[in-house]
């Protein structure tokens, strides 16, 4: 990765610093339900305020599609941010055409924190409109991107503005990039990747990229059924993309040609229906019945996964190993995640995980806190693993998109 500047290179005193953050948090009845993303950006904001800067926060919320939608205002986020920060946060309403944002930013004093209204209230945001980028840039003297989760979008507040001001990575962004570099660019080998989820079709590019990088790819979840069926195994009534059988075979062949081992389940937990308390049993893959549904990996499969973790230097995890939302089909994910967490705690493994279902599954297993790094970025994390360039990152490094 090309070099990027961090807060260590920014003399913030007396400056108005624009910080792009991710505040796309769950809100229920006007209150923030999960403040994880807010907590991640606190170190950057606090450091800049302590250095004597006025901080101007830019963020999007939901998809108002260029219109002012009151239900998609960032105003309810301001109290939660102030609580996490331990300092006042002033919310500024603007439709980005009324000049109110610029007036508020120019009046901001050192030590003040302003939260601007939803950047997507302006139709130019998602189009990376040059005129809107200039409006954003006029708010301050320097730009800091602390929203890795939005870095895969070439928007005015993530990419366009970074070419108009001195640009830096915030502390959350810096930590994310360091973790991902350790995972894929300079991993301690062997590198093991866990790729799970419902469908192979959503992970084709990921598997293609990882097959050239990883030493072992553990395939789990519903997508494993597609591989099992393609290799001639019975999958009964399980979720399976039979039309992708040849694609699955090609992935296995490509991985083999690159000396990458594909680890598939050898046994599984089956039931007649997917619901809590459904009668279930463990069977060998070859013994899956015509009316069975494969809902989790079995104990022998988990043992093989643990053995792969034992040999690994680095683990990258995206997607659950089974239908973890309902017990007992969460067992494989829980057991494997806890084992990876134990190895990490003993400094025997560098473990990095990300993606919506992945974070939920690892939290449910009680393993997330002991992983080396958990990414809260969904699409950006996945695109990074797929090997795609991220416009918001390239802009920080001076690389033209």
List active site positions. Answer: 37, 199, 356, 379
Strand extents, DSSP E, 120-260: 142-145, 167-169, 191-195, 216-219
Give buried/exposed letters for 2-31 (b at 16+ CB in 10 A, else e).
eebbbbeebebeebbbbbbbbbbbebeeee
Which of the 8 DSSP states describes residue 188?
A: P
Q: How many CB atoms lie within 10 A of CB 96?
A: 24
| d(C-alpha 263, C-alpha 356), whole Å | 23
| d(C-alpha 235, C-alpha 362), whole Å | 27
| d(C-alpha 37, C-alpha 6), whole Å | 20
Beta bridge partners of 193: 217, 316
Tokens 């807060």 label which residue? Answer: 7
| d(C-alpha 144, C-alpha 166), whole Å | 8
| d(C-alpha 376, C-alpha 385), whole Å | 14
| d(C-alpha 255, C-alpha 271), whole Å | 31
Tokens 């996964």 label which residue? Answer: 305
Directed axis angle between helix 245-257 and helix 222-230, to 10°? 90
| d(C-alpha 294, C-alpha 321), whole Å | 11
| d(C-alpha 320, C-alpha 336), whole Å | 10
CB 209 within 8 A of CB 254: no
């Amino acid at each position: 990765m090309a070099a990027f500047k961090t807060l260590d290179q920014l003399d913030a005193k007396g400056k108005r610093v624009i910080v792009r953050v991710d505040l796309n948090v769950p809100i229920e009845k006007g209150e923030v339900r999960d403040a994880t993303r807010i907590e991640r950006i606190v170190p950057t904001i606090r450091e800049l305020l302590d250095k004597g800067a006025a901080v101007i926060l830019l963020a999007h919320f939901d998809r108002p599609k260029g219109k002012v939608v009151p239900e998609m205002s960032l105003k309810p986020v301001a109290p939660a941010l102030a609580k996490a920060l331990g300092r006042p946060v002033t919310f500024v309403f603007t439709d980005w055409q009324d000049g109110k944002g610029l007036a508020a930013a120019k009046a901001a004093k050192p030590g003040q924190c302003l939260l601007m209204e939803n950047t997507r209230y302006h139709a130019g945001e998602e189009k990376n409109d040059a005129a809107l980028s200039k409006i954003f840039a006029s708010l301050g003297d320097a730009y800091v991107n602390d929203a890795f989760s939005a870095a895969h979008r070439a928007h005015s507040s993530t990419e366009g503005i970074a070419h108009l001001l001195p640009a830096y990575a915030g502390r959350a962004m810096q930590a994310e990039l360091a973790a991902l570099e350790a995972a894929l660019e300079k991993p301690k080998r062997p590198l093991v990747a866990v790729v799970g989820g419902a469908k192979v079709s959503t992970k084709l590019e990921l598997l293609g990229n990882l097959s050239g990088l990883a030493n072992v790819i553990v395939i789990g979840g519903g997508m494993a059924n597609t591989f099992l069926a393609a290799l001639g195994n019975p999958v009964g009534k399980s979720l399976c993309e039979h039309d992708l059988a040849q694609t699955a075979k090609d992935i296995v062949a490509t991985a083999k040609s690159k000396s990458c081992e594909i680890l598939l389940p050898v046994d599984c937990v089956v039931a007649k229906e997917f619901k809590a308390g459904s009668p279930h049993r463990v069977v060998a893959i070859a013994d899956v019945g015509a009316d069975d549904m494969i809902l989790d990996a079995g104990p022998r499969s988990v043992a093989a996964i643990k053995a792969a973790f034992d040999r690994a230097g680095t683990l990258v995890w995206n997607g659950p190993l089974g239908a973890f939302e309902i017990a007992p089909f969460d067992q494989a994910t829980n057991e494997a995640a806890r084992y990876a967490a134990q190895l990490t705690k003993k400094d025997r493994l560098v473990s990095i995980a990300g993606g919506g279902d992945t974070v939920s599954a690892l939290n449910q297993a009680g393993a997330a806190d002991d992983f080396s790094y958990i990414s809260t970025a969904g699409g950006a994390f996945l695109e990074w693993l797929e090997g795609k360039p991220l416009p918001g990152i390239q802009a920080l490094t001076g690389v033209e998109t």
